[in-house]
Amino acid sequence: MSQQIRLKSYVKRSGRLTNSQKKILEKKEYNINFFNSNKILSCQELFNNYNPCILDIGFGDGKLLTDIAKNFQDLNFIGLEVYDAGVGNILKQISENKLNNLKISNCDAIEFLENYITDKSLYGISLFYPDPWPKKKHHKRRIIDESFLNLVSKKINKGGFLKIVTDWSNYADHIIELLDENYNFSKENDRYLFKNRILTKFEKRGILLGHRITELCYKVK
């Protein structure tokens, strides 16, 4: 039986890059804070320590992820972003803040989780404002569905967390329904590292538009 092809949760478009972003991206292969996902990843080898590792999917302009990594240097962070502008932005921020606990790749998140990270190797996974694909006909492109939750539950250590924030009410309601029905997760209060986080660009926009911000945190059983 042929395997069902999963639709991408994003559409790559060539956005405008600043000159500094272009320069950084041209040399990203030689940047110690960037890695290509082409083999099974060892978090211990990547960071040269045994600190717990958190995966952030779709970090956008990178400001939130950089700020969290700067405030919690006893934790390691891997950021995935498919858009070049975001990768260029965050690599500059990592350099400016002299961070050793944040590494970046432009790999597709599903591909990364399925092929390049071992089971039970992550302390947590975060998704801040994943693309809501608001039109009903596009809901099948949303990254968070039953298969995604089953996949991430295998990659996160027992007692680790899944953190999701969205400003689309119907997406939030669907995510809550999926998580409450999934025996791998139990709802919990927010983890300490997100308590005093800064607001993202999308979050500020959502607040201005009057959207309901839904913050979810679930523990892996």
Query: Which residues are catalytically annotated?
Result: 131
> For 69-193, where are the E strands, in sequence order?
76-80, 102-105, 122-128, 156-166, 185-187
Phi-psi region of 210 (alpha: psi -120 to 50; beta: other; left: phi over 0): left
By CB atoms closer than 10 A (0-12, 13-18, 19+), residue 157 is: middle
Phi, psi of 106 (to 5 degrees): -100, 25
* Nearest CA-CA partner of 215 in 187, 181, 182, 190: 190
What is the Cα 27 distance to its own chain's centre? 23
**What SS3 state is found at 117?**
strand
Q: Report phi then psi at 116, rounded to 5.
A: -125, 5
Nearest to 151 by CA among 174, 117, 177, 176: 117
Q: How many residues does the chain have?
A: 221
The rounded distance, in Å, linking the Cα atoms of 169 and 188 is 20
R_g of the chain computed on alpha carbons: 17
